[in-house]
């Protein structure tokens, strides 16, 4: 069967499964809509968390980014993985013990202030909209290639599907849908990786294949270094970013992870604190399967792409080039008119431009794998993008309905609150779709901005809210506003106001917009601490509550009764 036929069958079957689950697990109460009724098993929650966590950035863009950036791309791998460990060990159990549905809920109660809660809602919305833009972009790319429609229409189709099962099922529907999506996406990621590893190195384990040898006895990475150097690119295993920037991007991604509202809320869907810890452990195992495979997928992809295109006659180019050209994600221009493709580092002479976001999706075609594998990857990419998009839309709707409306109108009925949540999710889908069509960068970069905003706004007030009883509402509000404002201003300036200035020479301390969230976080910490020191201490009841959160005594039984 043709690729398109396999794609329709596999994507169609997976969508039918997701929508069926959404209908079967339809939320009937606000508790089911927000936290799935608090009755999800640790294993299922671990899978759902992994799917929520491994967005289009992980599935589509991370390996593509490593393919083209080589060593420099490893910052995303280190930052996102390390961040999840930080979240699981340092924050999740304490937040679960606190017993609040959302980060703004925690901020409002811990800092005894409606104003602090509203500021936290604004931060959550900024983070979620920036993050969901990356997911919708990923959805658009997948649909654009496999349904042979423009990216804009791909985004619209994705919006409709996400709207259906996120708005209908709430967290209960999303949780069980994400369990199915994890199974689909991990199978779709591993199958081509195993095929290509066998093809190139004879080793069925991609992680070992990365360090293996090609048929001629040359180590894969040595050959890749040599091929890239010949074309004028820097060696694959050599980095060009400054060490300060690498450290700051990794730090921003790590601490940004710990402040991501759509991941934190997952720890409220299990019955007990002990289950929150257990599900975090399961999620880490499930996440590591994809994350340890990504460097191999990246190296295999760029090696095969160069081997199949460089110095080839245009008439001899493989079919995958022509197929992807229709999406405008690959462009070719025979600048010197010699009929031979020049793929070189010199922008003036380079005749082939490959969008980094297509590398994972195109890899099975580049490696000439069976058509059903190509269709499977399309289904996996959709699962990755849609699972995270749904989680983010739920955070947005919860922030509006519960953290805004309920705060100022506590008397509204549960039915009305649920209706407001669904209307907010519907509006969020439209805004997300707009940013998906007009993204401020490639998928992983857009997601990195969201992590920077989370690092600069939420992480300090959560960490100090748990581990310091002296931090007060004035400090938290001043810290969140200053950290978010600085980070947002820096990103907007270099990405939108003066993109021509976006070079290492003009960056503050040599830190790129992707890593500036680390400085925003430090500003937040300093402002928060200073303002708290010169303003009145929190009420004694709040200080006692902070002590109670930190003490593990009885934590396992805290929510059993």
User: Domain containing 478 — which CATH number?
Assistant: 1.20.1730.10
CA distance 22 to 4: 26
Backbone angles phi, psi at 354, to 5 degrees: -115, 120
Looking at residue 521, what is its pLDDT? 93
Q: Work out the percent of the chain whose per-residue pLDDT is above 70.
A: 87
CA distance 31 to 265: 12
* Domain presence at residue 422: yes
Per DSSP, the three-state class of 216 is: coil
* Domain presence at residue 220: no
For the ranges 14-28, 98-112, 348-362, 368-382, the lowest mean pLDDT is seen at 14-28
Residue 37 pLDDT level (bands cut at 50, 70, 90):
very low
Structure-model confidence comparison of residues 350 and 225, the more confident one: 225
3-state secondary structure 528-550: HHHHHHCCCCCCHHHHHHHHHHH
- Has residue 194 got a pLDDT over 90? yes
Bridge partners, 330 (sequence order): 354
* Domain presence at residue 240: no
Mean pLDDT of 238-250: 83
Question: Which tokens hold the place of 344?
Answer: 């070189």
Mean pLDDT of 386-408: 73
* Domain presence at residue 188: yes
* Domain presence at residue 533: yes
Looking at residue 557, what is its pLDDT? 47
- Domain of residue 463: give its range: 3-215+252-557
How confident is the model over 526-555, as pLDDT tens digits?
999 999 999 988 888 888 888 877 765 544
* Domain presence at residue 20: yes
Our measurement of the distance from residue 491's CA atom to the centroid of its chain's CA atoms, rounded to an integer in Å, reads 18
Give, in degrees to the nearest 5, the angle at Cα 59 between 394 and 55.
15
- Has residue 465 got a pLDDT over 60? yes
Mean pLDDT of 464-488: 89
* Domain presence at residue 552: yes
How many distinct structural domains can be found in the chain?
A: 1
Looking at residue 165, what is its pLDDT? 60
* Domain presence at residue 232: no
Q: What is the DSSP letter of 336?
A: T
């Amino acid at each position: 069967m043709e690729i398109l036929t396999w794609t329709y069958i596999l994507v169609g079957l997976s969508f039918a499964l997701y929508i069926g689950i959404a209908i079967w697990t339809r939320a009937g109460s606000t508790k089911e809509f927000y936290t799935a009724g608090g009755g999800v098993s640790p294993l299922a929650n671990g899978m759902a968390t992994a799917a929520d966590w491994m967005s289009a950035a992980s599935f589509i863009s991370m390996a593509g980014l490593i393919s083209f950036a080589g060593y420099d791309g490893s910052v995303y791998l280190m930052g996102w993985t390390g961040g999840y460990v930080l979240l699981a060990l340092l924050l999740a159990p304490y937040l679960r013990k606190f017993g609040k549905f959302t980060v703004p809920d925690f901020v409002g109660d811990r800092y005894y202030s409606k104003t602090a809660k509203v500021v936290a809602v604004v931060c959550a919305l900024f983070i979620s909209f920036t993050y969901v833009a990356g997911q919708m972009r990923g959805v658009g790319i997948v649909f654009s290639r496999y349904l042979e429609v423009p990216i804009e229409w791909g985004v619209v189709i994705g919006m409709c599907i996400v709207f259906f099962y996120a708005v209908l099922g709430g967290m209960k529907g999303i949780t069980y849908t994400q369990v199915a999506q994890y199974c689909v996406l991990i199978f779709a990621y591993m199958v081509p990786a195993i095929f290509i590893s066998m093809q190139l190195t004879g080793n069925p384990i991609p992680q070992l294949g990365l360090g293996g040898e090609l048929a001629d006895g040359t180590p894969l990475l040595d050959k890749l270094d040599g091929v890239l150097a010949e074309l004028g690119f820097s060696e694959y295993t050599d980095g060009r970013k400054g060490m300060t920037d690498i450290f700051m991007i990794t730090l921003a991604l790590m601490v940004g992870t710990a402040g991501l509202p759509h991941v934190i809320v997952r720890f409220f869907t299990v019955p007990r604190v002990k289950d929150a810890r257990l599900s975090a452990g399961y999620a880490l195992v499930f996440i590591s399967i994809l994350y340890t495979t990504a460097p191999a997928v990246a190296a295999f992809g760029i090696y095969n792409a160069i081997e199949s295109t460089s110095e080839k006659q245009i008439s001899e180019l493989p079919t995958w080039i022509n197929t992807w050209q229709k999406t405008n994600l690959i462009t070719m221009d025979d600048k010197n008119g010699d009929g031979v493709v020049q793929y070189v580092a010199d922008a003036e002479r380079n005749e082939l431009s490959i969008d980094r976001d297509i590398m994972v999706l195109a890899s099975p075609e580049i490696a000439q794998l069976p058509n059903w594998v190509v269709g499977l990857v399309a289904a996996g990419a959709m699962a990755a993008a849609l699972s995270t998009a749904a989680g983010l839309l739920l955070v947005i709707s919860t922030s509006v309905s519960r953290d805004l409306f309920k705060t100022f109108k506590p008397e509204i009925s549960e039915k009305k609150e649920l209706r407001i949540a669904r209307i907010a999710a519907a509006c969020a889908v439209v805004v997300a779709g707009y940013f998906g069509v007009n993204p401020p960068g490639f998928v992983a970069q857009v997601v990195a901005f969201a992590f920077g905003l989370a690092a600069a706004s939420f992480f300090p007030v959560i960490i100090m809210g748990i581990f310091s009883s002296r931090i007060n509402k004035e400090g938290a509000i001043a810290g969140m506003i200053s950290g978010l404002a600085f980070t947002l201003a820096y990103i907007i300036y270099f990405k939108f106001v003066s993109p021509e200035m976006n070079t290492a020479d003009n960056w503050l301390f040599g830190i790129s917009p992707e890593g500036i969230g680390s400085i925003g976080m430090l500003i937040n910490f300093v402002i928060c601490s200073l303002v708290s020191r010169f303003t009145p201490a929190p009420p004694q009841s709040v200080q006692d509550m902070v002590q109670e959160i930190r003490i593990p005594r009885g934590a396992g039984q805290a929510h059993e009764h």
